[in-house]
Amino acid sequence: MLTYNFAEAQGALYEYIYQRIKDDIMEGNLRQGEKLPSKRAFAKNNGISTITIQNAYDQLISEGYIYAIPQKGYYVAKLEGMKKVQRESSLSLNINMPEERPVYAADLSDNRMNPELFPFSIWAKVLRRTISDKSGELMEASPAGGIGELRTAIAEHLKSFRGMLVDPDQIVIGAGTEYLYGLIVQLLGNGKQYCVENPGYRKIVQVYRQYHITCRYADIDEMGMTFEGLRDTGADIAHISPNHHFPTGITMPAGRRYEILAWANEREGRYIVEDDYDSEFRLNGKPIPTLFSMDACEKVIYMNTFSKSLTPTIRISYMVLPVHLINRFYRELSFYACTVSNFEQYTLAAFMKQGYFEKHINRMRLYYSRQRKKMIEAIKKSKLNEVCEIIENDSGLHFLIRIKTDREDVEILQALAERKIRVNALSEYFFTPSEKKHCFIINYSNVDIEQAGKACDVFYAILAQ
Amino acid sequence: MLTYNFAEAQGALYEYIYQRIKDDIMEGNLRQGEKLPSKRAFAKNNGISTITIQNAYDQLISEGYIYAIPQKGYYVAKLEGMKKVQRESSLSLNINMPEERPVYAADLSDNRMNPELFPFSIWAKVLRRTISDKSGELMEASPAGGIGELRTAIAEHLKSFRGMLVDPDQIVIGAGTEYLYGLIVQLLGNGKQYCVENPGYRKIVQVYRQYHITCRYADIDEMGMTFEGLRDTGADIAHISPNHHFPTGITMPAGRRYEILAWANEREGRYIVEDDYDSEFRLNGKPIPTLFSMDACEKVIYMNTFSKSLTPTIRISYMVLPVHLINRFYRELSFYACTVSNFEQYTLAAFMKQGYFEKHINRMRLYYSRQRKKMIEAIKKSKLNEVCEIIENDSGLHFLIRIKTDREDVEILQALAERKIRVNALSEYFFTPSEKKHCFIINYSNVDIEQAGKACDVFYAILAQ
């Protein structure tokens, strides 16, 4: 007869009995085929209710540790694999989480938006109204490409802001640009050759690599990716940011755009991914028309994100596909649920429709253009100005400076880091060894200008050493 | 001299001039190298300001249609590729969006939650408080695995609800289970062989296929995936739902679990993906311990989702990785931003921490167990009961019925569809031809019981024909 010390029992008694019998089975005290005491005998012997024993036995049956033979009783099940998988040594729980971003005196590599600019109270208001007005829609599955209202709002934004004529049904919404890069590979195939800009944005290469794609690199000149560079890679897909190259800020002129479009037209299966990640922040003149708008042959996939214009912590990006590709998307990939929550899709749709998005962008542009001006003034006032040239491109949330020096970039970065100043060099964005050096990237979107000014003096002091 | 009819101009005048010159360049009226009129002459001639002309020329320069030579003037740029990419015919905008779900008199294939059960007012309250209390954190990038507070809340839930001892740092949060399937492939490699349950959940196979993985199928018996079936596929990864198999509802007993774990232990690189998609809805007894908890050798990846327990329209799922795999995740995949919005991560964390999630699950379980009872009663009251056997498994949001009939499943489904009744047959979930027929799946989570009862009578009438 099984005897357990019920005085130890914590919680439900049936759980205690269940656990003890299970332990006995696992430790071999109860063996395969062994008969367990009848419920009645077990209960009586221990002065507890048969219901309690019944519950414990039921749980053991449902987990498969014992089985019942009607009119006969309960028996220990066969558990052959058990011995092989029992813990032999305790495993260490040694998890290496990535380190937190260190604290710098000035961090000019920080290209995040200024969090204070996020329109919390308006967003909260629109969200609240969405929850009260849309309870039905919020519970309905979103189409794979995203909910219609948001796609319509984006199409209208693209029309008024980018001069793009787009059917809302051509738009696919996803949880971040990286996610959409993955969808593009699934759509176009990973047997293709992909070419990116050199220098360029490293994450594109990292995402593509996850799909077993080894990116080719095409050099850029002062007009962006060169036609010859692209052609020589033998690529099928060109992933570029013609409106504002990262990190140089170069805008590709019309002539080069037509060359790249002509390249895509030369062969079936060639495409251009136009990454328009920060087009909202062109500070002067009309925005540059997109490659997508210039394309008449369904060769361009346009991508954009709300990470820069709203916040990266709400994960919403989108792409606009040529008609034959959106049809392919719905044919082959629409089993995927849209990765963005309905709550945020409907909220963003209302936020855009009610004009808040446009206002917010205008406010941010004003803020960033002032911030840019202040940053340039800070450099001009500092000693660094004696040895540096500011390279402006009227756009984005950063600019470049070129430094007159004989020292190596890595040395300079190292010396800056020791003084708690973080800056990125252009040379860090090359995928292949490059002669291009002494250019540094000044991100001003989220920097304390006073600290940045001091950092410029330190920068100068390091160069003067 | 360029002459345009300014009376037609709508919007800003400079935009009109810019557009007309651009059109003239694109149509060949202005040729490569041709000199444009000087700003002053152009302005004077048309009685408008030189600033207006300057703005138009600046835009054309920034887009690369013209260029300036200092002290000389403005010239049309070289646009060689242009001719090759000009629109020849207007493309049709014939987009084939997926059809909407048709309306049925009774839809027993609908396995969605009842939308009325979503706790709108509490969710809105917690969300509002999150926005006002966490504005700083909401703007900070989430770690790749998700924010710490939510991972901690999930770890606590897993402990109290599933008896799992998990470090929050082992958890990875993502925008839906399908997204996480993709991460698993990226983590384990697509050179591996993946095996799924036959019958089983088709989406797993569809997602894996996107990564160029051809799934192997292992048959199940009354205890779930068989050891022999798994072994014979030669697979490295077994993707299973041992706690509640879809769609049969089978719970894998301890003996079989140890066999499958022993299989994984036999060889380096073998893993089990434990898909625990609806464990919250076990209606009787304690929940079944997870395979993850039984595993002492870091062989099990545990997955779960809030789609069933909260709503699928908030895209939040998670997986728990063994220590060496979470380290691999942070080493190789942490360049990915977490795909779930901070707003929803923090809201869900607070919702769980404040006990609302537990209450909500309890409320849903009560609702679903009543709904299940009503559905069973409706079947028993209908004539269908004469020819059907209800197969219960105490869990999930559906059960199976087995029908006595000589007719083929497809015929029956067709006849039902003609009467506006939708049901799925178990045979539809097999990946390979199967003898298993006459079993049908009754989803009751979101069904009108009265309609479902009538549908049962129709079902009987069809069988009796």
Pick the residue of B313, B323, B326, B351 with the most A CBs within 10 A to test the interface with A by mutation: B313
Residue A59 and residue A69 in contact, taking contact as beta carbons nearer than 8 Å = no
Give CA–CA dist A334/A332, Å, rounded: 6
The answer to whether the CB atoms of A336 and B178 lie below 8 A apart is: yes
A 162-221 → B contacts, CB under 8 A: 167, 169-170, 175-176, 178-179, 182, 186, 190, 203, 206-207, 210-212
Beta strands in A21-145 (DSSP E): 66-69, 73-76, 106-107
Cβ atoms within 10 Å, residue A333: 16
Pick the residue of B139, B245, B323, B348 with the most A CBs within 10 A to test the interface with A by mutation: B139
A 60-119 → B contacts, CB under 8 A: 62-65, 77-82, 84-88, 91-98, 112-113, 115, 118
Considering only CA atoms, which of A61, A60, A40, A35 is closest in space to residue A50? A40
B 281-340 → A contacts, CB under 8 A: 284-286, 288-289, 294-298, 311-316, 323, 326-327, 330-331, 333-340
Strand partners, A173: A318
Residue B326 has pLDDT above 70, yes or no: yes
A154: Cβ–Cβ under 8 A, 6 or more apart, which residues?
A: A168, A171, A173, A318, A352
Pick the residue of A85, A270, A332 with the most B CBs within 10 A to test the interface with B by mutation: A85
The answer to whether the CB atoms of B296 and A88 lie below 8 A apart is: yes
For A51-103, how does the pLDDT look when each residue is reduced to its tens digit (9 = 90+)?
A: 999 999 988 988 889 999 988 999 999 887 776 665 544 455 788 887 777 88
Residue B441 has pLDDT above 50, yes or no: yes
pLDDT at res. B442: 94
Which of chain A's residues have a Cβ under 8 Å away from the Cβ of B341? 175, 313-316, 340-341, 344
Considering only CA atoms, which of A339, A10, A422, A331 is closest in space to residue B313? A339
Residue B92 has pLDDT above 80, yes or no: no
**Cα maximum dimension of chain B:** 98
Which of chain A's residues have a Cβ under 8 Å away from the Cβ of B317? none
The answer to whether the CB atoms of B256 and A62 lie below 8 A apart is: no
Q: Which amino acid is located at A322 in the chain?
A: P
What value does the mean pLDDT of chain B take? Answer: 91
The answer to whether the CB atoms of B258 and A85 lie below 8 A apart is: yes
Buried (b) or exposed (e) across A145-164, using 16+ Cβ within 10 A? bbbbbbbbbbbebbeeebeb
The answer to whether the CB atoms of B339 and A176 lie below 8 A apart is: yes
Residue B106 and residue B117 in contact, taking contact as beta carbons nearer than 8 Å = no
Q: How far off is chain A from B128, nearest CA to CA, in Å?
A: 7
Which of chain A's residues have a Cβ under 8 Å away from the Cβ of B262? 80-81, 84-85
Strand partners, A399: A442
Backbone angles phi, psi at A223, to 5 degrees: -110, 10
The two tokens of residue A388 are: 């540096």
The answer to whether the CB atoms of B77 and A253 lie below 8 A apart is: yes
How far does Cα A453 stand from its chain's mean position? 32
Which of chain B's residues have a Cβ under 8 Å away from the Cβ of A94? 323, 327
pLDDT at res. B88: 47
Residue in B167, B259, B341 closest to A344 by CB:
B341
Residue B182 and residue B204 in contact, taking contact as beta carbons nearer than 8 Å = no
Which of chain A's residues have a Cβ under 8 Å away from the Cβ of B92? 323
Residue B211 and residue B182 in contact, taking contact as beta carbons nearer than 8 Å = yes
The answer to whether the CB atoms of B315 and A294 lie below 8 A apart is: no
3-state SS string over chain B? Answer: CCCCCHHHCCCCHHHHHHHHHHHHHHCCCCCCCCECCCHHHHHHHHCCCHHHHHHHHHHHHHHCCEEEECCCEEEECCCCCHHHHCCCCCCCCCCCCCCCCCCCCEECCCCCCCHHHCCHHHHHHHHHHHHHHCHHHHHCCCCCCCCHHHHHHHHHHHHHHHCCCCCHHHEEEECCHHHHHHHHHHHHCCCCCEEEEECCCHHHHHHHHHCCCCCEEEEEECCEECHHHHHHHCCCEEEECCCCCCCCCCCCCHHHHHHHHHHHHCCCCCEEEEECCCHHHCCCCCCCCCHHHHCCCCCEEEEEECCCCCCCCCCCEEEECCHHHHHHHHHHCCCCCCCCCHHHHHHHHHHHHCCHHHHHHHHHHHHHHHHHHHHHHHHHHCHHHHHEEEECCCCCCEEEEEECCCCCHHHHHHHHHHCCEECEEHHHHCCCCCCCCCEEEEECCCCCHHHHHHHHHHHHHHHHC
In this structure, the strands spanning A439-443 and A424-425 are antiparallel
Residue A119 and residue A354 in contact, taking contact as beta carbons nearer than 8 Å = no
Give CA–CA dist A78/A76, Å, rounded: 7
Q: Which amino acid is located at A226 in the chain?
A: T
The answer to whether the CB atoms of B190 and A212 lie below 8 A apart is: yes
The answer to whether the CB atoms of A342 and B127 lie below 8 A apart is: no
Q: Phi-psi region for residue B92, left (φ > 0), alpha (ψ -120 to 50) or beta? A: beta
Chain B's closest residue to A300, CA to CA, is: B85
The answer to whether the CB atoms of A175 and B178 lie below 8 A apart is: no
Chain B's closest residue to A243, CA to CA, is: B63
For chain A, report the end-to-end CA distance as a whole number of angstroms: 86
Complex prediction ipTM: 0.90
* Chain A interface includes B417 (CB < 8 A): no
The answer to whether the CB atoms of B85 and A294 lie below 8 A apart is: yes
* Chain B interface includes A140 (CB < 8 A): yes
pLDDT at res. B287: 77
The answer to whether the CB atoms of A64 and B252 lie below 8 A apart is: yes
Those residues of chain A that have pLDDT short of 50 are 88-90
pLDDT at res. B255: 92
Is the link from the previous residue into A433 a cis peptide, with omega within 30 of 0?
Answer: no
Residue in B91, B257, B323 closest to A91 by CB:
B323
pTM (two decimals): 0.90
* Chain A interface includes B58 (CB < 8 A): yes
Give CA–CA dist B204/B182, Å, rounded: 10
pLDDT category at B191 given cuts 50, 70, 90 is: confident
* Chain A interface includes B446 (CB < 8 A): no
pLDDT category at B85 given cuts 50, 70, 90 is: low
How far does Cα A308 stand from its chain's mean position? 13
| A&B contacts, CB < 8 Å | 302
pLDDT at res. B86: 59
Which of chain A's residues have a Cβ under 8 Å away from the Cβ of B330? 95-98
Q: Which amino acid is located at B294 in the chain?
A: M
Residue in B87, B94, B285 closest to A323 by CB:
B94
In this structure, the strands spanning A171-174 and A424-425 are unpaired
Q: How far off is chain A from B370, nearest CA to CA, in Å?
A: 22
* Chain A interface includes B147 (CB < 8 A): no
pLDDT category at B90 given cuts 50, 70, 90 is: very low
Pick the residue of B18, B19, B84, B150 with the most A CBs within 10 A to test the interface with A by mutation: B84
Which of chain B's residues have a Cβ under 8 Å away from the Cβ of A128? 124, 128
> Based on the number of CB atoms within 10 Å of its own CB, is A167 exposed (0-12), middle (13-18) or buried (19 or more)?
middle
More confident residue, A144 or B434: A144
Which of chain B's residues have a Cβ under 8 Å away from the Cβ of A343? 313-314, 344
Q: How far off is chain A from B382, nearest CA to CA, in Å?
A: 31
How far does Cα A274 stand from its chain's mean position? 18
The answer to whether the CB atoms of A255 and B294 lie below 8 A apart is: no
For A17-61, how does the pLDDT look when each residue is reduced to its tens digit (9 = 90+)?
A: 998 999 888 888 888 888 998 988 888 888 888 999 999 998 898
More confident residue, B258 or B102: B258
B445: Cβ–Cβ under 8 A, 6 or more apart, which residues?
A: B110, B111, B112, B113, B114, B368, B371, B397, B398
Give CA–CA dist B61/B76, Å, rounded: 9
A 342-381 → B contacts, CB under 8 A: 342-344
